[in-house]
Structure 1
Amino acid sequence: MTLQPTSTVRSGAVTVTPVRPKIAPFGGISRAVAALGFIFLLAACDPASAGTGESAQLQGPADRTFWTSYADVNWERIGQYDSEFHTHPGLGDEQYDPHETIDRYHAEGYRILTLAAHDYDIPDDHMESIYPWTRLSEIYQAIKDVPNPTEDNKTYGEMAGWRPYEDRDPVALGMVSVEGNEISGPHHMVSLFSSYTDGADSEEETLSVITELGGIVYFAHPGRYVERWGLTADWYVDLYRRFPVLIGQAIYNRVDNHPGDRAFFDEVVHILGADRPIWLFGEDDMHRETTLGWNRDVILLEDFRPGSMHPDLPDGSAPDVRVALERGHTYLWKPSEQYVRRAFDVVDIRVTGEEIRLVVDRAEAVDEIRWVTHDPELGESRIIHTGPTIHISHVPASARFVRAEISGPAGAIYLQPMYVVED
């Protein structure tokens, strides 16, 4: 697969006055990290990296600044851990049973994982979510003779080949297990940190239940519903404003089932602005081996400890994973080929109000850094600047955010939106 520049989706423009969030203090950077990023910082001085046309001109009012979710990340202390929250482990037509799903993701280097069964595949009278991993054998015994109506009433034991599920210990594997499911709400959503297994008749009802249960949730493959149901950005914006438990939406599903999802995300972010930040996700939506290893949501954590938020297990870093997801302390690694692990890392994001500088290790693995925003007049996403450094003067007056795509032959990093706010 070859990664393509940001795709475009035309739409109407909506203007909302942003409210500036409180900006947390920003940590320093070590000399070693600074040296790693030096090649990129030199590139910023090269006219060839300064962008062309509009990006090289002063734009917009002088009192604008940047706000980024990365501002309170201590880059000297964090580690970067691959996660996948959208997997389907054997309750339907999937290739792998729950323990096999864990084993495959563990083998591919993922450290944080959710076994997110479809809610319609879960026999609610006999189980809740596929959790905890230490009781998978008990779950099998509870459901092996139960028919699944969505699979021609085959029993769960029959679908597993009458091979019992095997227990797995996330602590022994060095992983964090997160409880969750894919909820048909009716729009599919990845529900995390709750045992909710039964989508309601409307998205509002579904989100209300997740709120009551204390979970968080993001929209899965929105392009499916934009294409099938004609949903608009305003439909999503309305739910984001009413339900704080919604933390974002997918921009990649599997290889790339919905290429318009990046531009659609940009449109939603533009309407919401800094007063309601949301975050981007990639998702394998894994049913078979061919759909495994196409996306890695990288979680930025200090002092990683394996565990799970279940009474049988130590919490480890599971509560910190939740905080990172809510605060946007994540980014997406999108490999150019299946299974490819990160070829480079972001090791610092320096924000000085009017300027953002990205520092990346292994500079030789990076070909280009693109800065993207939504253009409300054209109704599409567009690249406004290239290079590791962007100044507020490079940002059009109409822009309410920018986001960076850092690409090389092995794949691309998609950073979270960095919002434009007015002083």
Structure 2
Amino acid sequence: MGYSKHPLRGTWSRNDHHRSRKAGLAILLMLLGISTLVQGCSELKPRVIVVVDPYANIDWSSFGQYKANLHTHTTQSDGSLTPDQVIDEYHKRGYSILAITDHNLCTWPWTGFADMPRRGAARKSDVEAEEKEDAPAPYPPYENRDPEALGMLAVSGNELSRHHHMGCFFIEHETDSRDEDRSMVEIGEKGGLAMLYHPGRYWKVCEHNTIPAEVVKRYVDWLAAYEHLVGLEVVNQGRRYQNDIRLWDEVLTAMMPDRPVWGFSNDDMHGRGQLGRDWNTFVLVRLDEAELREALRGGQFYFSTIGTHPGESRNVAETPIIHSITHNHRAGTITLTATSGGEPLPETQYRWISEGRVVHTGPVLDYLRRDGIGRYVRAELVGNGGTTYTNPVGLRHP
């Protein structure tokens, strides 16, 4: 059957019709192909990109895990144990890294304790003993300790306490300064690293149980100004300042991923009752000062406390130990494996936090598809006897 001639459109042949149908089909297939390609690209394009991963360089099968306390007092300031007694107590509990941080004083080196002038609580007890005939000093003479013989890494430290308390490490620094900024500058000039201790001592929550904006700004400003200020002590002495973890989340929300801020957990030990409750675990290729410095700068550690649990259930052995943290860039997942008391941690005991909110429960986080993820994500692992925290992974939204 042919086509009739139209006075305005000219004459169409059957071949013209077939050619038109073929052309239309080709265009349709091309459009479908473009649509599929665009859809595929959309699926491949990540919604968020990991730009800060403190665990990226760890070989979990070969690196060692080293328990550390970075806030410790002796009778040289206001502690009740002599320096050698403090070291012995931590050593027998399996600690590998210890910083003695007496107030405004470097109790250093470990091999020089015996000849060290007695100060603080020790000196006070000596004076009192001298005033009483034949009364012995309550604190025995100091004994030296060799960290190498003990298999420990000794870290020189000091808690600068005439302003907001801060720990300084790897330097012998003592100062009378009452100005935080001056102290920070001095620590940096000497090549030390710093940490802000127990922030919650210096502020209170607002009427609606929120952290004051000016408080968050104060810590953000300090952290932005001083690169050698590596982070905040978010767990102190059994979590006596429970809002410090909330402050950490506020600071992370403001600064990540451009300025990572690492979290720490320390005993702030003054006596045996405060010993061994809050600790950091550094994951290092070997135990030496250079590796520890890099781990402090890079966040290559996790931290734990038994202070999250009721007194009768607190148990260091039942606090989660992390065995691996792996990041699959292609799949967009971060996977944790951990045990508590030697048994695999149940999946319901892994929770992921972003901007102060729980965004996921389980050992595997799909950060490409999970809603509610902001500029960082961190994990909390809850065991039967305590809680373990990871440092934050920094995320950028393209």
TM range (shorter): 0.7 to 0.9
Structure 2 unaligned regions, length at least 5: 1-44, 130-136, 206-210
Change (3 A) 1:372 1:199: farther
Aligned partners of 1:274 and 1:400 also within 8 Å: yes
Q: Please state if 1:203 is matched with 2:180.
A: yes
With normalisation by structure 2, the TM-score equals 0.77
If you compute each CA radius of gyration, which structure gives the higher value, 1 or 2?
Answer: 2
Change (3 A) 1:396 1:237: farther
- What residue identity is the alignment partner of 2:68? S
Aligned partners of 2:359 and 2:372 also within 8 Å: no
Match of 1:406 in 2: 381
Match of 1:293 in 2: 276
- What residue identity is the alignment partner of 1:138? D
Q: Please state if 1:76 is matched with 2:47.
A: no
- What residue identity is the alignment partner of 2:273? T
Q: Please state if 1:250 is matched with 2:233.
A: yes
1:148-178, CA deviations, whole angstroms, 9 ceiling, x for partnerless residues? Answer: 5xx7983667696362110011111111100
Aligned partners of 1:332 and 1:414 also within 8 Å: yes
Aligned partners of 1:344 and 1:363 also within 8 Å: no
SS of the residue 2:344 aligns to: helix
Change (3 A) 1:224 1:415: same
Match of 2:292 in 1: 321
SS of the residue 2:80 aligns to: coil
Q: Please state if 1:368 is matched with 2:349.
A: yes
Q: Distance in 1 between matches of 2:193 and 2:169?
A: 5
2:321 aligned to 328, 342, 345, which one?
Answer: 345
Deviation, structure 1 residue 89: 1.0
Q: Distance in 2 between matches of 1:281 and 1:104?
A: 21
Deviation, structure 1 residue 179: 0.2
Q: Please state if 1:267 is matched with 2:250.
A: yes
Deviation, structure 1 residue 420: 1.1
Change (3 A) 1:342 1:138: farther
SS of the residue 1:275 aligns to: coil
- What residue identity is the alignment partner of 2:73? H
Change (3 A) 1:365 1:393: closer
- What residue identity is the alignment partner of 1:386? T
Match of 2:124 in 1: 154
- What residue identity is the alignment partner of 1:173? L
1:118 aligned to 100, 103, 115, which one?
Answer: 103
Deviation, structure 1 residue 254: 0.9
Change (3 A) 1:158 1:68: farther
Match of 1:33 in 2: none
Residues 301-320 of structure 1 mapped to structure 2, 5 A cutoff:
301-304=284-287, 317-320=288-291
Q: Distance in 2 between matches of 1:256 and 1:133?
A: 29
Aligned partners of 2:122 and 2:139 also within 8 Å: no
Q: Percent identity?
A: 31
Q: Please state if 1:89 is matched with 2:74.
A: yes
Match of 1:356 in 2: 334
Bigger relative CO (Cα 8 Å, ≥ 6 apart): 1
Change (3 A) 1:173 1:271: same
SS of the residue 1:180 aligns to: strand
Structure 1 unaligned regions, length at least 5: 1-60, 123-128, 305-316, 375-380
SS of the residue 1:198 aligns to: coil
- What residue identity is the alignment partner of 2:349? E
Deviation, structure 1 residue 227: 2.6
SS of the residue 1:118 aligns to: coil
Change (3 A) 1:261 1:394: farther
Change (3 A) 1:162 1:78: closer
Deviation, structure 1 residue 342: 6.0
Q: Please state if 1:132 is matched with 2:116.
A: no
SS of the residue 1:210 aligns to: helix
Match of 1:224 in 2: 201
SS of the residue 1:70 aligns to: coil
Deviation, structure 1 residue 133: 0.5
Change (3 A) 1:86 1:396: same
Change (3 A) 1:158 1:299: farther
Q: Please state if 1:184 is matched with 2:147.
A: no
SS of the residue 1:76 aligns to: coil
Aligned partners of 2:157 and 2:168 also within 8 Å: yes
Match of 2:49 in 1: 65
Change (3 A) 1:243 1:318: same
1:371-407, CA deviations, whole angstroms, 9 ceiling, x for partnerless residues? Answer: 1121xxxxxx221110011112455467111110111
Q: Please state if 1:239 is matched with 2:216.
A: no
Q: Distance in 1 between matches of 2:286 and 2:247?
A: 35
1:224-257, CA deviations, whole angstroms, 9 ceiling, x for partnerless residues? Answer: 1123997611111111111001000011111111
Change (3 A) 1:325 1:83: same
Match of 1:98 in 2: 83
Aligned partners of 2:69 and 2:99 also within 8 Å: yes
Match of 2:28 in 1: none
Aligned partners of 1:184 and 1:199 also within 8 Å: no
SS of the residue 1:75 aligns to: coil
Change (3 A) 1:250 1:198: same
Aligned partners of 1:293 and 1:338 also within 8 Å: no
SS of the residue 2:260 aligns to: coil
SS of the residue 1:276 aligns to: coil
